[in-house]
Structure 1
Amino acid sequence: MSWWRASTSTTPISPYADFVRKVISICSSTTLVLTSKPSIILLKRLVLLFLLPWTVGAQVPVLSDPNSWSMILLPDPQNYVKFSQNQPILDLMTSWIKENAARLNTRLVLCTGDLVDQNLNAHPDGTHGNQTSTQQWQAVSRNFEKLDGTLPYILATGNHDYGMKNSENRYSQFNSYFPAERNAQTAALLLEMAPNESGVPTLENACYEFTPPVGPKLLLFSLEFLPRTEIVAWAKQIASQPRFANHRGVVLTHSFLRSMLKKNERIDTEPYPLSRPTYGQQLWEKLLAPSRNLQFLICGHVADSEGHEGHVGYREDPNAAGKKVAQMLFNAQREGGGWHGNGGDGWLRILEFLPDGKTIQVRTFSPLLAASPLTRHLAWRTESFDSFRIAF
Structure 2
Amino acid sequence: MKNILLLTGILLVNLLNAQTFTLIGLPDTQKYTKEEDGGVKEMFYAQTQWIADNVDAENIVFVSHFGDITDDGSNPGALIQWEYADIAMTTLEESDYSVDGIPYAVLPGNHDKFGGMSNYTTYFGIDRFVGRWYYGDGYQGNENSYCLFSASGMDFILVSIEYNPSNSYQIAWADGILSTYSDRRAIVVSHSILETDGTWSTDGGENVYNMAKDHDNVFLMLCGHNHGEIHRTDTYNGNTIHTVLSDYQDWTNGGDGYLRIMQFDPDNDVINFKTYSPWLDEWSTTSESQFSLPYDMDGGTTTNNPPQIQNQNFSLAENTANGQSVATVVATDPDAGQTLSFSIIAGNTDNAFQINSTSGLITVNNSQALDFETNPSFGLTIKVTDNGDIPLSDQATITIDLADVNESPEISNQTFDIDENSADNTTIG
Query: TM-score, length-normalised on structure 1?
Result: 0.65
Q: CA deviation at 1:217?
A: 1.1
The structure, 1 or 2, with the larger RCO (C-alpha pairs under 8 Å, 6+ apart) is 1
Correspondent of 2:102 among 140, 143, 151: 151
One-letter amino acid of the structure 1 residue matched with residue 119 of structure 2? Q
Q: Which residue of 2 aligns with 1:373?
A: none
Q: Which residue of 2 aligns with 1:353?
A: 264
Q: Which residue of 2 aligns with 1:227?
A: 165
Q: Which residue of 2 aligns with 1:69?
A: 21
Q: Is residue 284–residue 290 contact of structure 2 (8 Å, CA) maintained in 1? A: yes
Q: Which residue of 1 aligns with 2:120?
A: 174
Q: Which residue of 2 aligns with 1:7?
A: none
Q: CA deviation at 1:367?
A: 1.2
Q: Which residue of 1 aligns with 2:207?
A: 282
Q: CA deviation at 1:98?
A: 0.9
Instruction: Please give the root-mean-square deviation of Cα atoms over the aligned residues, in Å.
Output: 2.0
1: CA distance, partners of 2:173 / 2:129 = 24
Correspondent of 2:85 among 126, 140, 143: 140
Structure 2 vs 1, CA of residues 357 and 203 (structure 1 numbering), >3 Å: closer, same or farther?
A: farther
- For structure 1, the residue ranges without an aligned partner over 5 or more in a row are 1-64, 123-131, 165-169, 197-201, 271-278, 304-310, 337-341, 371-378
Deviations 1:89-143 (Å, cap 9, x if unpaired)? 1111211111111111111111110010001232xxxxxxxxx300001111111
Q: Which residue of 2 aligns with 1:103?
A: 57
Q: Is residue 81–residue 140 contact of structure 1 (8 Å, CA) maintained in 2? A: yes
Deviations 1:18-41 (Å, cap 9, x if unpaired)? xxxxxxxxxxxxxxxxxxxxxxxx
User: Alignment partner of 2:177: what SS?
Assistant: helix
Q: Is residue 79–residue 119 contact of structure 2 (8 Å, CA) maintained in 1? A: no
The sequence identity of aligned pairs, in percent, is 29
Q: CA deviation at 1:356?
A: 3.2
One-letter amino acid of the structure 2 residue matched with residue 383 of structure 1? T
One-letter amino acid of the structure 1 residue matched with residue 244 of structure 2? M
User: Alignment partner of 1:235: what SS?
Assistant: helix
Q: CA deviation at 1:245?
A: 3.1
Q: CA deviation at 1:369?
A: 1.6
2: CA distance, partners of 1:333 / 1:137 = 18
Q: CA deviation at 1:193?
A: 2.0
Q: CA deviation at 1:283?
A: 2.2
Deviations 1:270-326 (Å, cap 9, x if unpaired)? 5xxxxxxxx2113222x12222211110000001xxxxxxx1110000133x11100
Say if 2:90 is the partner of 1:90. Answer: no
Question: 1:321-332 alignment to 2 at 5 Å?
Answer: 322-332=238-248
Q: Which residue of 1 aligns with 2:380?
A: none
Say if 2:51 is the partner of 1:80. Answer: no
2: CA distance, partners of 1:193 / 1:183 = 9
User: Alignment partner of 1:182: what SS?
Assistant: helix
User: Alignment partner of 1:67: what SS?
Assistant: coil
Q: CA deviation at 1:252?
A: 0.8
Q: Which residue of 1 aligns with 2:113?
A: 162
Question: 1:301-316 alignment to 2 at 5 Å?
Answer: 301-303=225-227, 311-316=228-233
Q: Which residue of 1 aligns with 2:280?
A: 369
Deviations 1:319-352 (Å, cap 9, x if unpaired)? 33x111000000101111xxxxx22111111111
Structure 2 vs 1, CA of residues 357 and 247 (structure 1 numbering), >3 Å: closer, same or farther?
A: farther
Q: Which residue of 2 aligns with 1:245?
A: 182
Q: Is residue 112–residue 252 contact of structure 1 (8 Å, CA) maintained in 2? A: yes
One-letter amino acid of the structure 1 residue matched with residue 142 of structure 2? L
Q: Which residue of 1 aligns with 2:292?
A: 389
User: Alignment partner of 1:325: what SS?
Assistant: strand
One-letter amino acid of the structure 2 residue matched with residue 267 of structure 1? S
1: CA distance, partners of 2:268 / 2:177 = 23
One-letter amino acid of the structure 2 residue matched with residue 352 of structure 1? Q
Structure 2 vs 1, CA of residues 343 and 175 (structure 1 numbering), >3 Å: closer, same or farther?
A: same
2: CA distance, partners of 1:257 / 1:331 = 11
User: Alignment partner of 2:267: what SS?
Assistant: coil
Instruction: Identify the structure with the greater helix proportion.
Output: 1
1: CA distance, partners of 2:157 / 2:101 = 21
Q: Is residue 273–residue 291 contact of structure 2 (8 Å, CA) maintained in 1? A: yes
2: CA distance, partners of 1:111 / 1:171 = 17
Say if 2:147 is the partner of 1:208. Answer: yes
Q: Which one has the largest radius of gyration? A: 2
Q: Is residue 216–residue 357 contact of structure 1 (8 Å, CA) maintained in 2? A: no
User: Alignment partner of 1:318: what SS?
Assistant: strand
1: CA distance, partners of 2:44 / 2:124 = 17
Q: Is residue 161–residue 172 contact of structure 1 (8 Å, CA) maintained in 2? A: no
User: Alignment partner of 1:146: what SS?
Assistant: helix
Correspondent of 2:250 among 322, 334, 353: 334
Q: CA deviation at 1:180?
A: 3.0
User: Alignment partner of 2:73: what SS?
Assistant: coil
Q: CA deviation at 1:171?
A: 3.0
Q: Is residue 258–residue 266 contact of structure 1 (8 Å, CA) maintained in 2? A: yes
